Structure 1
């Protein structure tokens, strides 16, 4: 029961005072463990295109002792995000061996949004995109912007 209390508290905080560029709501009113997330691309990034990038946060029943799973619900062109429909993110802080129960979902979401502004090509899940990011930043940004316009929601 403590898990549900903590999740409800974190959700209420995120809804009442959302971090910049991030909104959160329950995906289904009857399920406290599944959240819909909408993220604005950070200013100056190729993901800043007047659209929101949909995502989700899935909280395990063992939260906060087990990390949440955070992903984008659309295709996104980024070295640290899988290009499939799962949109899985490579976030070190979410690895079971690095997760700390004191971490909050708001910090995870802010880190994920920051990753849009500052990709980590040396910790990539999409090697080809990481290479392009390192070697042809202009082309990377063009494709990232195009994908965001095409797949993000208005």
Structure 2
């Protein structure tokens, strides 16, 4: 199966049975460049937020992971100021058995459960470790500034 066929099938699967709190589709007619939307998980500081992500598939997908980054600013220790996401399945733990749908669900899970052992934003990580309530307030404030429509 070619990369284009695989991407087409995965986008069709998402359209037919969207993963909770997520949607995705191509930018124009170029299936290698997509956008996704994630709704902030209930009970998290990101609740009520709608976050846009850019998805760029490599030509040898699914043998290499897609590059996924947040376009909407977000205050999260595992997401840097450029929207890059520190998630092992988007790097050295990638497997061709993973799908875009599964990856989006794992990104939502990361919003609910940040990983202080692998931060991209040290300031946010320190705030989380020293005062989790303050971290959550800052994340909530950013959510309302940038992600509530």
| TM class, shorter-length | over 0.9
SS in 2 for 1:99: coil
CA distance in 2 between partners of 1:98 and 1:121 (Å): 18
CA distance in 1 between partners of 2:44 and 2:130 (Å): 17
Asked if 2 retains the 8 angstrom alpha-carbon contact of 1:76 and 1:147, the reply is yes
Unaligned runs of at least 5 residues, structure 1: none
CA distance in 2 between partners of 1:17 and 1:135 (Å): 40
Number of the residue aligned with 1:74: 72
Number of the residue aligned with 2:105: 110
Offset of 1:89 from its aligned partner?
A: 0.3
Does 2:87 match 1:91?
A: yes
SS in 1 for 2:38: strand
Ranges of 4+ aligned residues in structure 1 off by more than 4 Å = none
Does 2:138 match 1:138?
A: no
Number of the residue aligned with 2:5: 5
CA distance in 2 between partners of 1:144 and 1:131 (Å): 14
TM-align CA RMSD: 1.2
SS in 2 for 1:35: strand
CA distance in 1 between partners of 2:2 and 2:53 (Å): 26
Number of the residue aligned with 1:60: 58
Asked if 2 retains the 8 angstrom alpha-carbon contact of 1:74 and 1:152, the reply is yes
Asked if 2 retains the 8 angstrom alpha-carbon contact of 1:80 and 1:119, the reply is yes
